[in-house]
């Protein structure tokens, strides 16, 4: 009965080695030279270990939402491009409507100044 579980045990051990091995090797062999520049805030604009209830600019949210929108656009464009021969003119028109809606939203965001940083 124990020989039935041997492949499962081997799979778990190999999975742990392949998953944790590179992390442990990188931790051991990687350089660890922290300085003030390396520990400074990066892209977010505020210190990482301050009060969690502080206010920060809403433009960070707008950029994140725009990123998600255009990331989803690409996620829809790849499968559409692969099956374009099969779906024909209807698929072309449907994607045209989809891209038009996205472009109109992007122009609206641009005109409202959501993309301008001061």
25 inside domain:
no
81 inside domain:
yes
Q: Which pLDDT belongs to residue 102?
A: 86
Helix (H, G, I), strand (E, B) or coil at 85: helix
Q: Which pLDDT belongs to residue 67?
A: 84
What's the rounded Cα separation, in Å, for the pair 118 and 116?
A: 7
Question: What is the number of structural domains in the chain?
Answer: 1
| Residues in contact with 80: Cβ distance below 8 Å, sequence separation at least 6, in sequence order | 87, 91, 95
CATH classification at residue 107: 1.20.58.1610
The pLDDT tens digits of the residues spanning 68-93 come to 888 888 888 888 889 988 988 999 99
Please count the CA atoms within 13 angstroms of the CA of 84 that sit on its side-chain side: 10
Mean pLDDT, the chain, whole residue set: 83
DSSP 39: T
| pLDDT band, residue 51 (cuts 50/70/90) | low
Domain housing 85: 53-118
Q: Which pLDDT belongs to residue 100?
A: 93
Identify the residue whose tokens are 């099969």. 86
43 inside domain:
no
Q: Which pLDDT belongs to residue 41?
A: 65
Tokens of 3: 């020989």
């Amino acid at each position: 009965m124990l020989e039935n579980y041997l492949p499962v045990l081997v799979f778990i051990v190999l999975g742990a080695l392949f998953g944790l091995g590179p992390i442990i090797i990188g931790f051991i062999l990687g350089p660890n030279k922290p300085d003030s520049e390396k520990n400074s805030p990066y892209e977010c604009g505020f210190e990482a270990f301050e009060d969690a209830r502080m206010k920060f600019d809403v433009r960070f949210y707008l950029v994140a939402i725009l990123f998600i929108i255009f990331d989803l656009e690409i996620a829809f464009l790849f499968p559409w491009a692969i099956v374009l021969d099969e779906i024909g003119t209807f698929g072309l028109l449907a994607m045209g409507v989809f891209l038009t809606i996205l472009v109109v939203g992007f122009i609206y965001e641009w005109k409202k100044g959501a993309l301008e940083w001061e």
